[in-house]
Amino acid sequence: MDLKLKLVQTVHKLLKPTGRGGSFPGVLALKLDPEMLTKFRMPGIVVLVTGTNGKTTTSNLIAESLRKAGLNTINNRRGDNLNVGITTLLASNCDSHYNVQADAAVIEVDELTVFRQFDNLHPTHLVVTNFFRDQLDRAGEMETIIRKIQAVTENFEGHLILNGDDPNVVRIADTAKKAQINFFSVGKNKVSRKTTDEASEGKFCPRCGHPLIYDYYQYSHIGRFSCKRDGFGEITPETLVTKVDYENASFTCDNKVFHSFINTIYAIYNCAAVVTVLKTLNLNTDAADAVFRSFVLKEGRNEVFELSKPCVINLVKNPTGANEVMKYILGQPGDKNVCIFLNDNDQDGHDVSWIWDAHFERLNIPEVKTIVCSGLRAYDMALRLKYEGLEDRIIVIEDASKAVDWLDQADMNSHIIATYTALHSTRAILRKKARK
Amino acid sequence: MNLKILWIYNDLMDLYGDKGNAEVLRVRCEKRGIACEIDKKSIGDEIDISDYDLFFMGGGADREQGLIYRDLLARKRSIVKAMEEKTAFLLICGGYQLFGKYYKDQDGEVVDGLGIFDYYTESTDRDHRCIGNIAVEVTMDGETFKAVGFENHGGQTKNVSASLGKVLYGHGNAFNCGEEGFLNDQVLATYMHGPLLPKNPKIADLLIKRALKKRYGDVTLEPLDDTMEDQAREVMLKRLKV
């Protein structure tokens, strides 16, 4: 019986009904015992999910699929992916002797800190979604992140579930000699392109420095690539999506049709990762399909609020995410206003220069009537658009509430793009102003 | 009038939105009826740098820097010729470093620089970098004004004979160094990303004037409406309390 653990569990139980159970118990736990994370006896299945984009969605899809397949599964579903959130999850789901009470734990882990938690969590599976340029002021250089993950997986004997179409991720397979490597990959489809203006990574072979050749790009630097000199990237995927049918929101792999729940290319990669995890556990992939059909996206992912006309809000964290959200917005028919909330708090990244790497010039189409720039760095966003020739369509309203009022009064369909800290405050405003 | 810009290694040295600099130069020329041609060139391309009015090179991660430096060194003669023929230079971060004597990276690997200037750069370990918003009092071509940017560099650049300006907030060439960048009559080198030019239109215009000088002598530029640029800069200056 551990009194510190007991105290944390009690606090969690008390706070849970108030909705504040997410981080405080973990903060308390680590204050009482900084080494608590090393003490848990983990379940037989521990799936860690990391990468730049799609961590929360992918880990939630995996957790739901395991539950659907009959496993008692715990996961940090709200994306509390640092030490504190993970400690809260484990402390609130174990007995008084640190035995985690579950068949499986699915844990989203921040890609910058995963190297620290990796050994403590005794993973059986590590899923890596992708590596894009993201919050460089926080991350330093991508090279550093990849090397650190390579270092902790060097002696890993479990399953590595890797995006086989991202050269930054495939690199991990080169150094993880003892692991069981399972790639997922998506074949050529309607959105695949021979060339790209989106890729800022994946230009050279990490083994020999020779240029990588792409048969096609899906989005950003994700695509089918290989090095013609040493064969880097010539993979045999465990899961290959052979067909994507956007009209019917489905995709096919292993001769089986699955529902495509957001119906975008990046979400199909998330789904392929989920299917791969189930296969390595010898579970029926029907469970995954059932989840894809019923899954409700997390807050701020294509979330709709009923202002005078519908307003869709999306989180963006980096150029790749912003590009994909813009593709979605421009794919929606009819005239629209767009509102961009750009903050530069800790969780957003202090460096806003990434907006120059995203293709905001795509908003320069007649259907986009007005672009409202808001948030702490509203003027930086406005300048970005000004230099794309959108000067006449920009309004700067720094105050978020006034910006939402403007959208409401404009009486036109609208799309909000918000960085992490702006998302939460803006959703609160939208909740107040939306007609039920 | 027309302005010819060489944007070298745009495909590799393009970290932290530095492409915004090229965009700003182009738009500010075109608004004044000055045709602006931006040539993007990279490893192995044949270039006579003195054909251009402005040479622009951005920053890259160590890996990219390692890929381009041999190609850059092989162009030393062309660069010196362009300097003699009054081409203007804008060098950001990695570009800045490689014009000095050498660059020692985080793993202790030494990469030779062009050695055109006497400064040199040494990195500390991977976990210590100069990161954050920066404000600098710039003195350039007879004008003194405040500029803002975002710095993010492990390299500590020392032995800089003449800086771009005095640091009002942030680090500059090295940890708490007080001086930022390098400046002479032809070359502006800096760690300021952000990118540099959108929020600092005065620097953009002075660069355009320097570049036009090569073929047209001293030119007066028509003023543009910079209300939005000034507001973006003021937001940051106010926050940094400088």
Taking one residue from A and the other from B, the number of pairs with CB-CB distance under 8 angstroms is: 83
Contacts of B44 (CB under 8 A, 6+ apart): B71
Q: List, for residues A54-69, the tens digit of each pLDDT value.
A: 999 999 999 999 999 9
Contact A193, A216 (CB under 8 A): yes
Gap from A137 CA to chain B (nearest CA, Å): 6
Give the mean model confidence (pLDDT) for residues A203-229. Answer: 94
Per-residue confidence (pLDDT) for residue A140, from 0 to 100: 56
- Read off the tokens for B194: 């952000």
Mean pLDDT over residues A326-337, rounded? 94
Q: What is the pLDDT of residue B31?
A: 97
The residue annotated as part of the active site, out of B130, B153, B171, B193, is B193
Q: How many whole angstroms separate alpha carbon B184 and alpha carbon B132?
A: 26
Tokens of B111: 């990469």
Closest Cα to residue A5, out of A76, A97, A81? Answer: A97
Contacts of A200 in chain B (CB under 8 A): 14
Cα-based torsion angle of the residue sequence A140, A141, A144, A149 in order, rounded to the nearest 10 degrees: 100
pLDDT at position A365, please? 94
Tokens at B131, concatenated:
């990161």
- The band of A21, judged by pLDDT with boundaries at 50, 70 and 90, is low
* Average pLDDT, rounded, for chain B: 94
Alpha carbon distance B128, B123 (integer Å): 9
Domain boundaries, chain B: 2-240
Beta B155-158 vs B120-123: how paired, if at all?
A: antiparallel
Give yes or no for residue A177 having a pLDDT over 80: yes
pLDDT > 80? residue A1: no
Mean pLDDT value across residues B54-73: 89
Catalytic residue among B29, B36, B93, B130: B93
Collapsed DSSP state (helix, strand, coil) of residue A313? strand
The residue in chain A having the minimum alpha-carbon distance to the alpha carbon of residue B61 is A141
**pLDDT value at residue A3:** 85
- Reference A42, options A92, A108, A98, A88; nearest CA is A98
Q: Which two tokens stand for residue B66?
A: 């390692």
What is the model's pLDDT at position A139?
A: 52
Which of the four pLDDT bands, split at 50, 70 and 90, describes residue A233?
Answer: very high
In angstroms, the CA B114 to CA A174 distance is: 35
Q: Which residues face A123 on adjacent strands?
A: none
Query: Which letter does DSSP use for residue B24 in this model?
Result: H
Write the pLDDT tens digit of every residue in A139-157: 557 888 899 999 999 999 9
Backbone angles phi, psi at A381, to 5 degrees: -65, -45
Interface test with A, best of B9, B11, B15, B93 (most A CBs within 10 A): B15
To the nearest whole Å, the CA of A344 is away from the closest chain B CA by 11
Q: Do B152 and A351 touch (CB under 8 A)?
A: yes
Q: What is the mean pLDDT of residues A193-202?
A: 85
Three-state SS at A226 = strand
Domains and CATH numbers, chain A: 3-294 (3.40.1190.10), 303-433 (3.90.190.20)
pLDDT averaged over chain A?
A: 93
Lowest mean pLDDT among A92-106, B3-17, B56-70: B56-70
Task: Count Cβ atoms below 10 Å from residue B116 Cβ, excluding itself.
Answer: 16
Q: What local confidence, expressed as pLDDT, does residue A80 receive? A: 83
- By C-alpha distance, which of B214, B236, B238 is closest to B83? B214
Q: What is the DSSP string of A103-126?
A: SEEEEE--TTTHHHHTGGG--SEE
- Residue that wins the pLDDT comparison between B73 and B15: B73
Q: Is the pLDDT of residue A200 over 90?
A: no
- Which residues in chain A touch residue B194, judged by CB atoms under 8 angstroms apart? 351-353
Q: Is the pLDDT of residue A137 over 60?
A: no
ipTM score of complex: 0.95
Comparing A295 with A403, the larger pLDDT belongs to A403
Nearest-Cα distance to chain A for B182, in Å, is 22
Is A421:A345 a contact under the CB 8 Å cutoff? yes
Contact A384 B27 (CB under 8 A): no
Cβ proximity of B63 and B91 under 8 Å: no
State which residue of chain B sits closest to A206, comparing Cα positions: B63
Which of B82, B90, B114 lies closest to B101 in space, CA to CA?
A: B114
Residue whose C-alpha is closest to residue A352's, from B129, B146, B17, B36: B17
Read off φ and ψ for residue B232, nearest 5 degrees.
-60, -40
Per-residue b or e along A343-363, where b marks 16 or more CB atoms closer than 10 Å to that residue's CB: bbeeebbbbbbbbbbbebeeb
Q: What distance in Å separates residue B85's CA from the closest CA in chain A?
A: 31
Chain A residue with CA closest to B129: the answer is: A140
Q: B178-215 pLDDT, tens per residue?
A: 999 999 999 999 999 989 999 999 999 999 999 999 99
Position A197 scores a pLDDT of: 84
**Smallest CA–CA separation between A321 and chain B, in Å?**
16
Tell me if A356 and B19 make a contact (CB, 8 A cut-off). yes
Sign of the CA dihedral with A248 first, then A251, A252, and A256 last: negative
Quote the CA–CA distance of A113 and B208 in Å, as a whole number. Answer: 44
Q: Note the pLDDT of residue B92.
A: 96
Helix (H, G, I), strand (E, B) or coil at A286: helix
Strands, sheet with A310-315, edge to edge from the N-terminal-most edge strand: A303-306, A310-315, A414-418, A336-341, A368-374, A394-396
pLDDT score recorded for residue B11: 86
SS3 for B129-145 is CEEEEEEEEEEECCEEE
> If we measure between CA atoms, which residue out of B6, B1, B111, B134 comes closest to residue B61?
B111
Q: What is the mean pLDDT of residues B58-64?
A: 82
Are the C-beta atoms of A54 and A130 separated by less than 8 Å?
yes
From B201, which residue of chain A is nearest by alpha-carbon distance?
A: A383
Residue B60 near residue B14, CB atoms below 8 Å: yes
Determine the Cα angle at B95 with ends B90 and B99, to 5°.
95
Give the model's pLDDT for residue A99: 96
Q: B30: pLDDT confidence band, cut at 50, 70 and 90? A: very high
**Axis-axis angle for helices A24-32, A83-91 (nearest 10):** 90
What's the whole-model pTM score? 0.85
Q: Which residues contact B139 (CB under 8 A, 6 or more apart)?
A: B165
* A379 closest CB neighbour out of B14, B24, B228: B228
- Phi and psi at A315, nearest 5°, equal -80, 135
Whether residue B153 lies in the annotated active site: no
Q: What is the rounded radius of gyration, in angstroms, for the C-alpha atoms of chain A? A: 22
Active site residue B128: no
Which tens digits make up the pLDDT trace of A371-414? 999 999 999 999 999 999 999 999 999 999 999 999 999 999 99
- Residue A43 confidence (pLDDT) above 80: yes
Distance CA A43, CA A103 (A): 6
Instruction: Write down the pLDDT at residue A143.
Output: 81
- The size of chain A, in residues, is 436
> Dihedral sign, CA of A285, A290, A293, A297?
negative
What value does the mean pLDDT take over residues A259-285?
A: 95
Predicted confidence (pLDDT) at residue A241 exceeds the cutoff of 60: yes
Chain A CA closest to residue B196: A353
Q: Tell me whether residue B32 is exposed, middle or buried, using C-beta atoms within 10 angstroms of its C-beta: 0 to 12, 13 to 18, 19 or more.
A: middle
Residue A19, pLDDT score: 66
Tell me which fold the domain B2-240 belongs to: Rossmann fold (3.40.50)
**Peptide bond before residue A319 is cis, with ω within 30 degrees of 0:** no
CA dist., res. A238 & res. A250, Å (int): 19
Beta carbons of B23 and A141 less than 8 Å apart: no
Task: Report the distance separating Cα A216 and Cα A203, nearest Å.
Answer: 13
Q: Whole-angstrom Cα distance, residue A369 to residue A393?
A: 7
Do the Cβ atoms of A140 and B63 come within 8 Å?
no
Which residues of chain A have a Cβ shorter than 8 Å from any chain B Cβ? 136-137, 140-144, 200, 203-204, 209, 350-357, 376-377, 379-380, 382-384, 386-389, 396
Share of chain A above pLDDT 90, in %: 80
* C-alpha torsion A409→A410→A415→A419, nearest 10: -60
pLDDT in tens, B138-173: 999 999 999 999 999 989 999 999 999 999 999 999
Q: Do A353 and B131 touch (CB under 8 A)?
A: no
